[in-house]
Amino acid sequence: MYSTTEVLLAGAVLTTVSVVASRVSGKLGVPALLLFLGIGMLAGSEGIGGIWFDDARATQTVAVVALIYILFAGGLQTRWEEARTVARGAAGLATVGVLATALAMGGFAWLVLGLDPIVALLLGSIVASTDAAAVFALFQGQGVRLKGRLRPLLELESGSNDPMAVFLTTGLLGLLTEPDATLAGLVPAFLRQMVFGALVGFSIGHAAAWLINRIRLDVEGLYPVLTLALALIAYGVTELSGGNGFLGVYVAGLVLGSRPLMRKQSLIEFHDGVAWLMQIAMFLTLGLLVFPSQLLPVVGQGLAASLFLMFVARPLAVFLTLAPLDYSLRDKTLVAWVGMRGAVPIVLATYPLLAGIPQAGPLFNLIFFIVLTSALFQGTTMIPVARWLGLQDSEPASQPFDPRALGPVAGRLREVVIPEGAPVDGHPIVDLGVPRQALILLIFRGPDFVLPRGATRLQAGDRLLVLAEDAALGELVARLHGSVPAPAPESVVSEEGAR
């Protein structure tokens, strides 16, 4: 047993090492998850760290919490205006594609590896989901962008295909552990989990947007705390209602990110940091759990299964799913190769361990080896393949403007509320006489926002985002509240014209 101080110190040191290692991930062309897993294994009982850890239940708990925040952050950052154009393809890959991959891998594991049919299908289901989102950190590290619809397609698929793998895994475990369970019973369970997951996540996402836009907290730092709690609520309520919690939390994040939202950019940045912390914690814990010496007996089977997954099962699923859609051969080839396995298969491999399946130990080691080889082979060749296929976009991407890039400015951003009964209610901004040292950047009106123009009429309850010097801000607030009369229309017009 380790003391609390030792656990905290070890966690802090390993996290620091992982953050520093991620700095060289893109430059070396190695996926960050592979480095995090390697650090965990080196720190483990058979590594130089000598940390003894073999608690599968604790690992699963850490991983579930981590996946909740990773999926929530992924949904929050997904641009729906782009995602909607690839929704059919992504939905197909996340359902039919995962099922096709599971069946193909299951057949291979049964006929070639000699596993029992249900255990073989369980193996196929566990490794069926992709971790394409982790690959984009590698692309970003080397400044590589993908052409056309490939990026939103892979982002949406990677965020939505985990629920299908989770469902297949838990369903097949039920067949192995519950005598009364049947394959036919999985169909209504699947429909219930997917439908309830989408509906509950959609509802909570809209409710969360409404709450964030209307609640007025005195402390700015409480808004990220609120969204952390909302992500857990989305998962918990979805699970308790019979839906798939991972789908629910991803849909909630997707809806929240697609709505006009107060402090949206800061919340996105906050959850991006949380997602990275969760990835590090999850991969380190998974690395600590594995015993490298136990991987040696499964090298032959693992390499054969990994090659079949990369060159047969994943391409078969992609070409089958995208056949009715207008994707080129090069697009389908890259999508097939980007199907890198990540944390979810290793997390799902702990389910048989906790369920007491006799073959669970070797199965876990086999799955871990498949993930390692997938990350190593596919992760290190992803960018060369994209370039070889001519799918690298050379045009620079447009980035959201961060006002902090300006450095110190002669003014401050403030939010000003127009109270009920204010004389400016119903009047256009041009009649207000905005001081020269003040600028109204945005008007929040209920859940929506309005881009201010001279003719925009103000309303009671509007929240104005203002950039102004202190003196000008005080003058503007006084005019909004009616304490100081606005200048004559002639002077206002001339002032606007001067601007």
CATH number at residue 73: 1.20.1530.20
376 and 337 within one domain: yes
Minimal CA–CA distance to 391: which of 347, 327, 449? 327
The segment with the largest mean pLDDT, out of 356-365, 389-398, 440-449, is 356-365
Residue 381 is predicted with a pLDDT of 85
pLDDT surpasses 60 at 261: yes
Q: Is residue 398 part of a domain?
A: no
443 and 357 within one domain: no
Q: Residue range 50-57: average pLDDT?
A: 88
Q: Is residue 405 part of a domain?
A: no
Higher pLDDT, 183 or 164: 164
Kindly report, residue by residue over 334-386, the tens digit of the pLDDT: 999 988 888 889 889 999 988 888 888 899 999 999 999 988 888 788 888 88
334 and 254 within one domain: yes
| Lowest-confidence pick of 205-214, 408-417, 489-498 | 489-498
Match 């999508």 to its residue by tokens.
Answer: 335
pLDDT surpasses 60 at 485: no
Could you tell me the pLDDT band of residue 491, with boundaries at 50, 70 and 90?
A: very low
445 and 381 within one domain: no
Strand ordering across the sheet containing 448-450: 412-417, 463-468, 438-445, 448-450
Average pLDDT, the chain: 84
pLDDT surpasses 90 at 487: no
Higher pLDDT, 184 or 128: 128
Q: Is residue 316 part of a domain?
A: yes
Give me the torsion for CA of 236, 241, 244, 250, rounded to 10°: -50
Cα distance between residue 480 and residue 425, in whole Å: 9
Look at the chain and report how many structural domains it folds into.
2
Residue 12 is predicted with a pLDDT of 93
* Maximal C-alpha separation, the chain: 88
Cα distance between residue 10 and residue 58, in whole Å: 17
190 and 121 within one domain: yes
358 and 309 within one domain: yes
Q: Which residue stretches of 293-405 are H helix?
A: 299-308, 314-322, 329-337, 343-355, 360-388
The residue among 361, 393, 425 that closes a domain is 393
382 and 420 within one domain: no
Q: What are phi and psi of 21, to 5 degrees?
A: -65, -35
How many percent of the chain have pLDDT more than 90?
35
Q: What is the DSSP letter of 457?
A: B
Kindly report, residue by residue over 289-320, the tens digit of the pLDDT: 888 888 889 999 999 999 999 999 999 999 99
438 and 360 within one domain: no
State how far Cα 136 lies from the chain centre.
11
469 and 350 within one domain: no
Q: Residue range 395-403: average pLDDT?
A: 51
Minimal CA–CA distance to 121: which of 187, 194, 175, 160? 175
Is 102 within 8 Å of 314 (Cβ atoms)? no
Residues near 273 by Cβ (< 8 Å), separated by ≥ 6?
A: none
Q: Is residue 173 part of a domain?
A: yes
422 and 314 within one domain: no
Match 């997390």 to its residue by tokens.
Answer: 347
Q: What is the pTM of this model?
A: 0.77
Residue 144 is predicted with a pLDDT of 62
Q: Is residue 401 part of a domain?
A: no
Q: Is residue 399 part of a domain?
A: no
Kindly report, residue by residue over 103-132, the tens digit of the pLDDT: 999 999 999 999 999 899 999 999 998 875
Residue 493's domain spans which residues?
412-498
Calculate the alpha carbon distances from 445 to 198, 417, 425, 449, 450 in Å. 28, 10, 13, 5, 7
The CATH number of the domain holding residue 458 is 3.30.70.1450
Q: Residue range 50-60: average pLDDT?
A: 88
The segment with the largest mean pLDDT, out of 149-153, 226-230, 462-466, is 226-230
Q: Residue range 53-69: average pLDDT?
A: 90
352 and 428 within one domain: no
Cα distance between residue 111 and residue 428, in whole Å: 75
Residue 189 is predicted with a pLDDT of 85
141 and 203 within one domain: yes
Q: Which two tokens stand for residue 378?
A: 């596919």
- 90: exposed, middle or buried (C-beta count within 10 Å: 0-12, 13-18, 19+)? buried
Q: Is residue 404 part of a domain?
A: no
Q: Residue range 59-79: average pLDDT?
A: 89
Q: Which amino acid is at 225?
A: V
Q: Look at the chain and count its residues.
A: 499
Q: Is residue 91 part of a domain?
A: yes
* Strand ranges (E), 153-221: none
The residue among 393, 426, 454 that closes a domain is 393
Kindly report, residue by residue over 319-329, the tens digit of the pLDDT: 999 999 989 99
Could you tell me the pLDDT band of residue 29, with boundaries at 50, 70 and 90?
A: low
Cα distance between residue 349 and residue 362, in whole Å: 10
Higher pLDDT, 136 or 96: 96
Residue 493 is predicted with a pLDDT of 36
Residue 394 is predicted with a pLDDT of 60
Q: Residue range 133-157: average pLDDT?
A: 71
The residue among 393, 420, 450 that closes a domain is 393
